[in-house]
Structures are given as structure tokens and as C-alpha cells.
Structure 1
Amino acid sequence: MNLSVNCWITGQSPSALAEEISTYEANIQKDVYENHLKQGNRDDWNGYTLNLFKKHSEKYYTTDLEQYKFDKTECKACAHNAANYNLFAEHNGCRHCTKCLGVKNAAHVAKETEKLLKSDPKLVIARPYYGSRNDTALQKLDKKGHEIKELDYNVSAREFPKAPEAPQKEQLSEPTEYEQAVQTFE
């Protein structure tokens, strides 16, 4: 146990809760106490059942690995995988990450983006003006020489360009004009 749980668990917390907290990393233990168990804090978890406490701990201190597409083989043995906190746990799979997720995900996003760019050279990498974006992946791509366009916040995805209309022979008087218009259209 990284922190002496008995010194900061309130008298209301059951021993099962103290045992659960003792399996967390020291920095998470301290944060749980400071922000959720210490009397007078804004987000009080005292009095929670063990299952409710675990649910809130996972929500606040871990990230569900199932939503990510990168290879999680290394994560199965990682000390920062919440599935590995308890030495007596029967599972040894990927569950919840507390540390290097951003680095691995950025590497995966950059690699997959490069595959897409190779398959279709007309694709453009765009950085959104605001909202969700992976700056680390964009930096990796930029360092490799890929052009990254800044999206204008005034541009809406709902405003699609209109497809050009094919020229009609009867609209043009000269055959050379029609041939030129067809070339431009194509």
C-alpha cells in the first residue's frame, strides 16, 4: 500500500472501501482523499457503497481502453492499467488506463492518417478551429512534412459545394468553345 489508508479514511468508510483504495496508485489515492473523502469537500463520496465508489473511481481516474483502436497488447501487463491494480484479480485484460493512453493513441492516429494519405493523395489533413482534436498526432504528422490546413470556424460541414453542371452543346455557339468547356468540366 502506497499511502497509509487508515490515516485518511473517515470513520464512516468500510474496510472494503479502504482495501479498494489501497490498490490505487499513490497519486490517485491522495486525489481521492483530497477531492472525494476529506470532510468539507465539494464532491463527497463518503457513504457510497463499494460498487458505487468503484464506478465513480473508474469514471474520474481511468479511461476505458475499449473505445481505442490501437494495439493494446502492452497494456495487458502495464502497471497503470486499472485491471492490474489488484494483485488478486482473476482478470488480466485491458480495461482502464491511467497513464500513457494519449501517447499511444496519438501514434496510432498519425500512423493511420499516413496510411490514408498514401491511399488517396487528394486527402487533406485539417486542424479544427475548436472542438476535439489530437494535437500530438497533428504535431507528428507536421514533423514528417505533411501539410495541415487550418479550418475556418465559419465553415460549416453542412455547407457542401455544388457539383458543376456539364456543359450543353446547344448553350455554346462554337464547337471549340464546347470542347474547352467539356475539358474544364472534367
Structure 2
Amino acid sequence: MEATASQTNAVKVQEATISLALIQPSDYNPRKNFDEQSLTELADSISRQGILHAIGVRPIAGTDRYEIVYGERRYRASIIAGKDDIKATVYTDLSDDEAEQKAIAENLHRQDITTMEEAETLKAAIDSGRYDYATLATQIGKSEAYILTRIKLTNLIPEIARLIDTEEITVAVATEISRYGVDIQTDVYNSHLKDGVTGNNWRGMDASNVARLIEQNYTTDLSRYHFDKSTCASCPHNTRNLLLFCEDGCDGNCANTACLREKQTTYLLDKAFYGSELFPMAKFGQTEYDSNDMVAERLVNFGYDVEKIGNNSIPFPMWPMQPEQDCFNSDVEYSIAIKEYEQNKEKCKNDRATIENMAREGKASLFICIGRYDITLCYIPTDMGNFGDVDS
């Protein structure tokens, strides 16, 4: 090994030419993936011009070997080019932490770094614990928002990540896709981004259109659901928190289908059991066109019967809403509304009592109806002709 020595910041440095056979990669290199075509192109360049920039290595204690600190791509390309040795900067007193820090810094300042390599390197820097977003932003001269966005790209499935480095989709499009889970990403790739997809190909679309299409096709409007959505407000799967296109005051859209389904199922089951307590004579039922099969299946597993209800069921009378005085322009209008409310309330009370009595006498069947979005009460008269006095 030919070497010249110097000292920088108390770390001993030697410039040397080292046999490739004595060098090995490290485990902490933030760069994990190496594109074969890119390596081949670099190998061709090395064959013609040699190594332009030395790699960084450090001695492995107790051996004559060296561990790569930075420059693994040049090392790999030199092997492909059939070289026997390589120019190296040897850091003789470099700790593990210092070696990892140098690897991160070297990768971030490379001119040929790809978007995904940068993302992985930034994530490694944050994960190392030596940086927070503010100090890393100062170190590399980028904003904290830039770092956050880049690190988010490491959530991409490999198939979509490759499309960034090959410039088949933009970073902005990839950023929108990275907000979602693996299931949605996989379907987006197979249906809209994969080679050979025609007619519904999203390549070439701008980020705003891709974001809208994902929200439209892969998320569910939370306003349809009546369960307690307080935890949904801060959930990362809520599109309100993905900075998409939800206006102020809306519930947002849910991108976590499994969680949404389980919350809805739990809510409907609780409401169904509560209805059963209020109306012990009522049976569970579901219609053909508006039903929740998961809730019905759970009820069956709990030992309950769930009957199929035809189209002749009638909604159980609902209590009228009490007027609010603030909604009226005068006390006279409010008084009239209150009077109508009391009349409707009395009629509803009588109608409900009539239906319950007929159910006790076997002249009507009460059902707790398992709907897709809600639990409702309905009834089916055994003799429709003799049931015309009840106006529901």
C-alpha cells in the first residue's frame, strides 16, 4: 500500500492506493440499493479515466483489511471494471459514530445522488439520533419541510420508488402517493403506473390530479358515518391531515379501510344491542339493498338470528325534533312551531304505542334493521289492510 499521511481535526488521514481484495462494505452505509445499469456506466468511465475521487475507508482492528466509510458505488464499479486496487482516503482513528456521520455527509453532498438515495440518507441521519430536523436542515442547507417530504418517500413500495429515479413520475406525484399505505400504493401501481397499463395510466399527470384521483378512488367520506370520529380528526390516515383538498369543517376521507370498517362495525353493533334493550320484542333483520354484512355476521356468531326483510317494511315512527327559538324571526312563529311540535309528538307517541301493542299481539313484527351506515327500527304488519290508521 502506497500512502501519504496527514492529520485533520485530530483524525489521522492517509491517502493510499489499496487492493480491492482488502476492502469490504460497511453495515451502516445509508445507501442500500445500487442500480446495475448505473454501476455499469460508472465502470466504463473508470476503465477509461480511472477513479476521479478517492473512496473513504478505515482499518478493521486486528486485520489488514479496510471497511468502506463512503464511496461503495465507486468500489463496486471498480470491481466490475476489473481493477485490482483503488485510491482511498484512510481514516485511522475514526469511531463508529464518526464513520456513519461521514458516510451520511458524503452521500448528501454527492452531485449524482438520486432522489431515493437522498431520502434514505436523510432518514438514516435522523434515525442516527445525531440530528433533529432543524440541525440537519442547517447542515445541508435545506428546509425542514424539504427533509420531511423527502423522508416520507422512504415509505414508497420499491416499484414506485424506482419510477422516481427513472424520472417516469415526478417527486411531487410520488410524494402524494407516499402518504398512503402499502395496499393503496400497490393497487395504484398495478392499476395506473405499471408498464403496459393503458387507458387509465397516471404517468404524466400532475400531482394535484393524482392526489384527487387517489382520494376519490381509494378513500371513504367520513361524513357518511355516525360513530365517534374524535380520534379520526388527528389520524394520519385522514385526508384532512394529508394536506389534500378537504375544505374547512369537513370530516375528511379515510384511507384506512380496515380501521374504518372495524369502527363502523363496533358502532353499529353497540347501537343494535341498545335497540334490542329498548325493544326486547324486536328481531334483527337486514334488507337486500342496504345492509352491513359484517355486522350481520357478527350477530350470527354471537348466536342471534338475522332475518331477511323484504321491501314491505315500514320505518318506525321517529320522535319529531324540538324547535329552537333562535331559528325563528318572532316569538309568534316560535309559538306556532312549538304547538305543532307538541301535536306531532303526541301523535308519534300514540303511533309507537299502537305498533308495539300490535307486535305484542302478533299483528306486526318489529325489526332492528342492520343498515350499511346506521341501525334503524322498522315494522311489518301481518295485515296491511287493517293497519291504515297508523301514519308513520
Change (3 A) 1:35 1:136: same
2:276 match: 117
1:50-65 equivalence runs, <5 A: 50-65=207-222
1:75 CA drift (Å): 2.3
In the alignment, structure 1 residue 8 sits paired with structure 2 residue 163: yes
Q: Distance in 2 between matches of 1:44 and 1:156?
A: 42
Deviation per CA, 1:6-55: give whole Å up to 9, x if none.
Answer: 41257453332122222222332232122112232142122333222111
2:299 match: 141
1:37 match: 193
Partner AA of 2:197 in structure 1: N
Q: Which moved more, 1:43-52 or 1:100-109?
A: 43-52
TM-score (norm 2): 0.35
Q: Distance in 1 between matches of 2:313 and 2:388?
A: 21
Deviation per CA, 1:59-101: give whole Å up to 9, x if none.
Answer: 2221111210001122234343344456xxxx9x952222311
Partner SS state of residue 276, structure 2: helix
Point out the structure with max Rg over C-alpha.
2
Instruction: Flag structure 2 segments of 5+ consecutive residues without an equivalent.
Output: 1-153, 315-380
1:143 CA drift (Å): 4.3
1:109 CA drift (Å): 0.9
1:157 paired residue among 287, 312, 319? 312
Q: Which moved more, 1:99-108 or 1:111-120?
A: 111-120
Change (3 A) 1:2 1:157: same
Q: Distance in 2 between matches of 1:69 and 1:165?
A: 33
Partner SS state of residue 69, structure 1: coil
1:165 CA drift (Å): 8.8
1:176 match: none
Change (3 A) 1:143 1:22: closer
Q: Distance in 1 between matches of 2:218 and 2:174?
A: 17
Partner AA of 1:2 in structure 2: N
Change (3 A) 1:27 1:158: closer
- Native 8 Å contact 2:180 2:237 kept in 1: no
Partner SS state of residue 202, structure 2: coil
Change (3 A) 1:138 1:20: same
TM-score (norm 1): 0.66
Partner SS state of residue 100, structure 1: helix
- Native 8 Å contact 2:239 2:252 kept in 1: yes
Partner AA of 2:196 in structure 1: G
- Native 8 Å contact 1:125 1:147 kept in 2: yes
- Native 8 Å contact 1:76 1:94 kept in 2: yes
2:286 match: 127
In the alignment, structure 1 residue 27 sits paired with structure 2 residue 183: yes
Q: Which has the higher contact order (CA 8 A, sep 6+)?
A: 1
Q: Distance in 2 between matches of 1:70 and 1:124?
A: 23
Q: Distance in 2 between matches of 1:120 and 1:133?
A: 20
Instruction: Point out the structure with the larger strand share.
Output: 2
Q: How many residues end up aligned between the 2 structures?
A: 157
Q: Distance in 1 between matches of 2:259 and 2:183?
A: 15
Instruction: Flag structure 1 segments of 5+ consecutive residues without an equivalent.
Output: 167-186
Percent identity of paired positions between Structure 1 and Structure 2: 29
- Native 8 Å contact 1:21 1:29 kept in 2: yes
1:18 match: 174
Partner AA of 1:15 in structure 2: V
> Structure 1 stretches (4+) deviating beyond 4 angstroms?
none
